[in-house]
Homo-oligomer: A and B are copies of this chain.
Amino acid sequence: MSTAVDDDLWSAIGDPIRRTMIDLLLAGGPGTATSLSEQLPVTRQAVSKHLAVLDRVGLVHGAPAGRERHFQVDEAQLARAVAQLAAVGATWDARLRRIKRIAEAIERNRNNNQGD
């Protein structure tokens, strides 16, 4: 059933650097490739590429401001991403519960038969 998910959106937030970038932008407001790279273990160019990826899937928007380019999180799109995380989590959680319930039922059954 594979929980219909936007793979592009998911893989955008699948990268740990990109996740941290979103965290930084959420916590500190709009930022530039340079300002973000100062808080990350990679170069400005790498950050720039990640920003391009995030921009492409609409998780952030970049706006030129003089010689800088300010990026900020698109809240609606991030909310959608959060919803997908929740959806996949809920699906797996439900399956795990079901498996556990079945396992317990089998266990109970086994004990009953042993008791005969």
What B residues does A26 contact at CB under 8 A? 92, 95-96, 99
Q: Which of A17-25, A60-68, A106-114 contacts B (4 or more CB under 8 A)?
A: A17-25
Q: Is the interface of A mostly helix, strand, loop or mixed?
A: helix
Whether A105 sits at the interface, judged by CB under 8 Å, is: no
Tell me which of B3, B23, B86 contacts A3 (CB under 8 A).
Answer: B23
- Residue pair B96, A79 in contact (C-beta under 8 Å): yes
Copies in the complex: 2
- Residue pair A75, B100 in contact (C-beta under 8 Å): yes
Total A residues in contact with B, Cβ cutoff 8 Å = 32
| Alpha-carbon gap, A98 to B16, bound state (A) | 23
Show 11 A/B contacts (Cβ-Cβ < 8 Å), sorted by A: A2-B23, A5-B19, A10-B16, A19-B88, A75-B100, A78-B96, A82-B92, A82-B93, A85-B89, A86-B86, A89-B89
- Residue pair A15, B14 in contact (C-beta under 8 Å): yes
For A27-61 the 0/1 string (1 means CB < 8 A from B) is: 10000000000000000000000000000000000
